Structures are given as structure tokens and as C-alpha cells.
Amino acid sequence: MGAGVTGDEAMRAEAALGWMLCLALAGCSEAPPPAPPPPVVRVATPTIADTDIVRDFVGAVAATSEVEIRSKVTGIVAAQEFREGQTVAEGQVLFRLSAESLRAGSDNARSQVRNAQAALDKAAADVARYRPLAEKGTIPRQTLDQAVTAQDQARAGLASARALLEQAELAQQDAVIRAPYAGRIGRAQVQMGALVQAGQTVLATVSTTDAARVDFALSEREYLELVRPILEARRQAEPPPVELVLADGSTYPHKGRIGFADRALSEATGTFAVAADFPNPDEVLRPGMFGHVRAIVQRRPGAMRVPQRAVQQLLDRTFVSVVGADGAVQRKAVVMGPRVGEDWIVESGLEAADRVIVEGHHRVRPGQQVDAQPLAAVDPAPTPAPAAG
């Protein structure tokens, strides 16, 4: 009997063939996996609007008028007639100095006036007596001339004595120290019984409260950006107001104006001194406070702006990603201007109709198809934030 296929082998071969045929049929019936959907990105067209570029400058608050109270005369503090930290009226009595020595000086000056008056009276009498005698030749003419000279000297002596008396009386008045103008007075710098030196000892400080001045300094470049446009605007219209941001981040409710610009840059610091005046009806601003003066340094009509988060930077290159009409991502090199709030001004490189990718540009690459969805509308901030860059 020749070599043949047994029944078991035939059965195994048939089973294997059936299994392979089953796998082949199953493979033919399986569909290829579907392509993934294009990634979703959020897009927005550039904002075209007139834009103010603002800058912040650190400033110190000072009173528009402030004076250190000093005495014109030397004396002992006899009375203090104000409450520290309170408002005072113009001419209100602040201090009284002991005036005994001043009264003695006045009495002495009055005595000198009386003596001078007596000397003048005698000289006048001598002239009246000698004149007719000299005309008759009874006495030498020289005697009359001497009497007239003595009368002139007595008259001058009386005028000098009266001036000394007036000075002594004024010194007595100066022993009562009054407020030079209405304002708020600080702490008394002297105590009762203290010796006050004329023109040297500071008794207290009074400052006006209805307005305040904020002093700040600019570099030469900042001066050209801020002050020069203001000076030029004065020729045509009222310069733009400035704002004050306080230390707690709040914006002072009253706007101010640039009221002072120094005549020259400081050689010591290389900066330019500027001051802004602010109304202060509620006395919120106090000397010594600090804040940021926020000023418009430039106005850009029809500026093109995009959100800052849409801008990508790589080394010295700046670009944004846009979605073309075919739904593919394009990368555009752009030149950026200053930042304004959460936006960035675009100097060149974009068109007004470009759909700029604001969210999702980090997940896509140029040429890739994307699903462009509009960015949710966000109300613009009413006040522009300080520019940067």
C-alpha cells in the first residue's frame, strides 16, 4: 500500500484551511479606522480702534503750599493755641511767646522818642531866638547856623527814635504767631517753656489741603514722549488730563493736570522734574504718600490690536498664526508696537480680515487643517492699561 493521507491528517488539513479562510473573510469585512477630526482653535479678527498709549510714572504727593512756622523774634513759648493735626484759619493764633523783654524794649524806645522830641524842641527854640538877633547883627551869623544844624540833627534823631519804637512794637506783635493761610497743621515741634530762636526754630508746619501736587521725574526720552506733546497741545487745545493710581491699586477719582515742568534736566540725576496738580476736596491725598501718575503719551488713530496671548515669540522673531480661507494654518511674521491692556498693537504684518488664532495655536502647525471657532466676545476695558514694551 502506497503512502497516503490518513483520515486524521485530512481532517486536520481541512480544519486549518477553513480557519485560514475564516480569517481571510473576517479581514476583508473589517472597515479602515476613521480619520481624526481637525483640532478646534479659537479665532478673532484684529480690533481696529483709536487707542491711547498710556504710561505710569512713580510720584510723591506734596501739598501745593506748605510752610514751616518760625518766629521772627527770640522768646520763650508761653502758649500753644491750636490742636495738632486740625485745620486752622488764615490769621489764627498758633503760639504766643513771652513778651517781657520785648515790652521793656518798647518802653526804652518810647523814652528815646521823648528825649529826641525834647532835643528837637530845644533846638527849634534856639533857632527861633537866634534868627532875629543874627539879622540885627547882635550875634555872629555862625551862631545861627550852628543852631540850625543842631535842629536838623535833633529832627533826624527823633525820626530814628520813632523808627526804633515802631520796630519794638512790631516785635511785640510778632510774639503772637499766626497761621499764614488756611490749611492743616501738623505736630508742634516745641513744648511750653522752650526757647525759640528768631528765624531758626521750627514751631510747626502748615499745608494747604484743597489741592495736592504729585512730583515725579522723567528721563529725557520720557520727557519727549510725555511733556512735549502736552506743551504742543497747549497751542491748540486743553492738554489731556492725567490719573493717579494710589498705593492700594485704586484710581483716585479726580483727574489732574500737568502743572509744572522744570526748566532743565538735572545734571546730577539726568532726569526732568514734572508735577501734576490734583483737586483734593476730601483730603484723601496727604503729603508723603506715593502713587503712579498715569498719563497719555501717544494717541494712535485706527490702531490694529490683537490679544497678547495670540502673539508668539521665538528668539528675535514675533509671529501670529492665522486660519486661511482653505481652513489651513498659516504663520505670519509681524512687527509689534506697545502693549495696551491685554492687547498688543500690530505695526505691520497683518490684514484687518485675518482670522488670528487666539486659543489653540500651540497645538497646531502651519499647513494643518483646523476647525476655526469664533472667540467668545469680551467687553473691552473702559480705561486703557499702561503701555509696555
pLDDT of 22 > 60? The answer is: no
Is the Cβ–Cβ distance between 345 and 303 less than 8 Å? yes
Q: Which residues are bridge partners to 49 per DSSP?
A: 303
The mean pLDDT of 340-350, rounded to a whole number, is 92
The fold of the 41-53+300-374 domain, in CATH, is: 2.40.420
- Per-residue pLDDT at 373: 93
Give the whole-angstrom CA distance, residue 113 versus residue 157: 8
Question: Which residues make Cβ contacts (< 8 Å) with residue 239, sequence separation at least 6?
Answer: 230, 233, 257, 258
- Grid cell of 364 as nine digits: 497646531
Burial of residue 49 (CB within 10 Å: 0-12, 13-18, 19+) is: middle
CATH of domain 55-64+209-299: 2.40.30.170
Pick the CATH number of 99-174 from 3.60.21, 1.10.10, 1.10.287, 2.60.40: 1.10.287
> Could you tell me the pTM of the whole model?
0.65
Is the Cβ–Cβ distance between 329 and 294 less than 8 Å? no
- Per-residue pLDDT at 284: 94
Question: Which residues make Cβ contacts (< 8 Å) with residue 185, sequence separation at least 6?
Answer: 82, 84, 85, 86, 87, 88, 94, 179, 204, 205, 206
Tell me the pLDDT of the chain averaged across its residues.
85
Q: For residue range 260-293, what is the model confidence (pLDDT) as tens digits?
A: 888 888 888 889 899 999 999 999 999 999 999 9
- Per-residue pLDDT at 57: 92
Ranking 13-17, 347-351, 374-378 by mean pLDDT, the lowest is 13-17
For domain 72-98+175-207, the question of CATH label 3.40.50.300 is answered with: no
Ranking 19-28, 249-258, 319-328 by mean pLDDT, the lowest is 19-28
H or E stretch at 221: helix 220-233
Q: For residue range 146-199, what is the model confidence (pLDDT) as tens digits?
A: 888 998 998 998 899 889 888 878 878 888 999 999 999 999 999 999 999 999
Cβ neighbours, 10 Å, residue 113: 20
Q: For residue range 31-57, what is the model confidence (pLDDT) as tens digits?
A: 567 878 899 999 999 999 999 888 899
Cβ neighbours, 10 Å, residue 116: 21
Tell me the domain boundaries of the chain: 41-53+300-374, 55-64+209-299, 72-98+175-207, 99-174
The mean pLDDT of 320-325, rounded to a whole number, is 94
Helix ranges (H only) for 32-190 are 100-136, 141-174
Q: Which residue has the higher pLDDT, 377 or 159?
A: 159
- Is there a shared CATH topology between the 41-53+300-374 domain and the 99-174 domain? no
Question: Which residues make Cβ contacts (< 8 Å) with residue 111, sequence separation at least 6?
Answer: none
Give the CA count within 13 Å in the CB-facing half-sphere of 320: 31
